[in-house]
């Protein structure tokens, strides 16, 4: 799409959604200025790189799309127009080859965000995108001009269109502090409360268990709540649990706690064995082994897994084979609250999707568009978050171009 007149667009928020939108707009001929309150762009993207930068997922697209809480709304069209294959091609176009990990997750070969970001910023520079860092956006003045706080001075700017890509409210130290919520709610825009997503949860461990096992992973388990079940790994922390399997269920766990003040999870410590198989193993002669050695030898349960059984039932060592097998297949965990949003990988909540039109423009604020995690959608870890941010960034940029066309 090319527009004859050179329109000026302000993109506020230099995370992946904002940068990808800026690239799309600049490629179409717009004059693009990017503002961010932090001294450097894309700090959360760089943080994501510490975990290898899981940029997207390789699973079948029909399954992929079901991972998004809002796939039935505008988000689906955005993802259809920027698919995981497009993401991989985009990385390749910035000299970053990608590979599919054993779980189907896609990573850049460097397993880092910094080389990709360097090349991305240099591509934006070549396109003439101008950056204004240390510029906090505070809203609009009485004439409808943007207001920024930069050092001591307040500046107002006028643009043909404004794209907000201010992120959610997790890891506020990286820039996305959610403070923009007050600005938009004061304009009567429905912004759902932020809640932690892809986060850990509090459990009241005994002192013994916490001291001995905090920091240890419980591998190859299945974790379930109600009808939702995932295979994976979880980490014991001094305050509770976190890790892949927990994140994958985090929205269901959070909703259950919101409703009931508590949530009950079940851990299957041997998901690849049936009850009968476990009972058969436990029915073999125990020799003179202690309870722990017997479980380690017969079922290869780790000391952590065995301590978890004891945490649930102090008298487990005298339980019948049948009761023990049942407990191994479904260790109950009582979860009290999500960990703080300050350390959550993402946040739920944000601008209600009913507030934006098919161009990603706020229905009540003509010329103001929004994309990325600041919109009210959720997805698990696995590359879905970045894919969603890129896709909505592109969709909003294309929406701006359509809206600007005479
Ligand atoms: C530890 C961690 C690991 C992660 N790992 C992965 C992963 O492997 N794969 C994955 O898909 N996702 C991952 N994520 C999530 C992913 O990084 C985010 O979903 C994504 O960065 C959101 O992009 P965004 O552009 O919407 O917002 P952000 O990246 O949050 O960017 C928003 C920008 O807006 C700026 N801003 C906010 N308010 C203002 C204001 N008032 N004025 C000016 N500027 C403002 C901020 O400074 C920030 O730069 C991870 C997140 C964390 C915290």
What gap in Å lies between CA 158 and CA 343, rounded to an integer? 36
Best probe residue, ligand 1, of 10, 13, 108 (max atoms within 8 Å of C-beta) = 13
Nearest to 19 by CA among 49, 38, 45: 45
Q: What is the pLDDT of residue 154?
A: 65
Residue with CA closest to ligand 1 atom 27: 167
Domain range annotation of the chain: 8-196+342-404, 201-335
Alpha helices in 112-239, H assignment, sequence order = 114-126, 180-185, 207-213
Best probe residue, ligand 1, of 52, 343, 345, 347 (max atoms within 8 Å of C-beta) = 345
Contacts of 259 (CB under 8 A, 6+ apart): none
Query: Do residues 197 and 381 lie in contact, with contact meaning Cβ atoms separated by under 8 Å?
Result: no
CA dihedral 82, 400, 181, 194 (to 10 degrees): -10
Mark the ranges of the chain whose per-residue pLDDT is less than 50.
Answer: 1-4
- How confident is the model over 294-325, as pLDDT tens digits? 999 999 999 999 999 999 888 898 999 999 99
Atom of ligand 1 nearest to the CA of 385: 11
Task: Please list the residues that pair with 364 across neighbouring strands.
Answer: none
- Ligand 1 center–CA 343 separation, angstroms: 12
Residue with CA closest to ligand 1 atom 30: 167
Nearest to 107 by CA among 96, 121, 122, 120: 96
Nearest to 256 by CA among 232, 222, 228, 231: 228
- Ligand 1 center–CA 311 separation, angstroms: 37
309: number of Cβ within 10 Å: 22
Q: What is the pLDDT of residue 152?
A: 63
Best probe residue, ligand 1, of 104, 167, 247, 250 (max atoms within 8 Å of C-beta) = 167
Q: What is the mean pLDDT of the chain?
A: 94
Q: Is the CB of 54 under 6 A from ligand 1?
A: yes
Q: Is the CB of 226 under 6 A from ligand 1?
A: no
- Structure token pair of residue 55: 């940029």
Q: What is the pLDDT of residue 143?
A: 87
- Structure token pair of residue 261: 């003040």
Q: What is the pTM of this model?
A: 0.94
- Look at the chain and count its residues: 406
Interhelix angle 321-329/275-282, nearest 10 degrees: 140
Q: What is the pLDDT of residue 180?
A: 98
Task: Classify residue 340 by its DSSP letter.
Answer: P
Best probe residue, ligand 1, of 10, 23, 48, 184 (max atoms within 8 Å of C-beta) = 48
CATH class in words for 8-196+342-404: alpha beta
Q: Is the CB of 351 under 6 A from ligand 1?
A: no
Q: Is the CB of 165 under 6 A from ligand 1?
A: yes
Q: What is the pLDDT of residue 123?
A: 98
Q: What is the pLDDT of residue 71?
A: 65
Interhelix angle 303-312/321-329, nearest 10 degrees: 110
């Amino acid at each position: 799409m090319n527009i004859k007149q050179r329109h000026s667009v302000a993109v506020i928020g230099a995370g992946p959604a904002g940068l990808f939108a800026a690239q799309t707009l600049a490629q179409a001929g717009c004059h693009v200025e990017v503002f961010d309150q932090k001294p450097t762009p894309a700090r959360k993207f760089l943080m994501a790189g510490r975990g290898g930068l899981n940029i997207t997922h390789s699973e079948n697209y029909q399954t992929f799309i079901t991972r998004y809480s809002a796939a039935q709304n505008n988000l689906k069209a955005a993802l259809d127009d920027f698919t995981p294959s497009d993401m991989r091609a985009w990385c390749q176009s910035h000299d970053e080859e990608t590979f599919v990990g054993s779980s189907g997750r896609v990573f850049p070969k460097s397993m880092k965000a910094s080389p990709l970001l360097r090349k991305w910023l240099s591509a934006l520079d070549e396109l003439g995108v101008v950056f204004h860092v240390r510029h906090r956006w505070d809203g609009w003045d009485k004439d409808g001009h943007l207001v920024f706080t930069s050092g001591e001075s307040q500046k107002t700017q006028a643009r043909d269109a404004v794209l907000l890509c201010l992120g959610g409210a997790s890891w506020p130290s990286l820039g996305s502090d959610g403070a923009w919520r007050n600005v938009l709610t004061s304009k009567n825009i429905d912004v759902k409360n932020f809640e932690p997503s892809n986060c850990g949860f509090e459990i009241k461990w005994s002192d013994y268990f916490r001291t001995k096992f905090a920091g240890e992973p419980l591998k190859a388990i299945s974790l379930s709540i109600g009808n939702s079940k995932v295979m994976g790994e979880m980490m014991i922390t001094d305050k509770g649990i976190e890790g892949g399997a927990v994140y994958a269920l985090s929205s269901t766990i959070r909703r259950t706690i919101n409703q009931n003040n508590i949530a009950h999870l079940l851990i299957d410590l041997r998901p690849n064995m049936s009850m009968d198989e476990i009972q058969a193993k436990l029915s073999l002669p125990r020799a003179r082994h202690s309870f722990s050695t017997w479980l380690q030898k017969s079922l290869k349960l780790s000391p952590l897994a065995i301590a978890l059984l004891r945490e649930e039932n102090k008298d487990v060592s005298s339980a019948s084979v049948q009761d023990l097998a049942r407990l191994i297949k479904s260790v109950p965990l009582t979860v009290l609250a999500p960990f703080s949003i300050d350390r959550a990988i993402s946040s739920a909540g944000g601008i209600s999707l009913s507030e934006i039109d098919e161009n990603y423009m706020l229905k009540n604020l003509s010329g103001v568009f929004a994309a990325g995690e600041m919109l009210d959608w959720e997805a698990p870890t696995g590359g879905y978050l970045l894919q969603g941010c890129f896709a909505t960034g592109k969709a909003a940029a294309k929406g701006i171009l359509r809206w600007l066309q005479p």
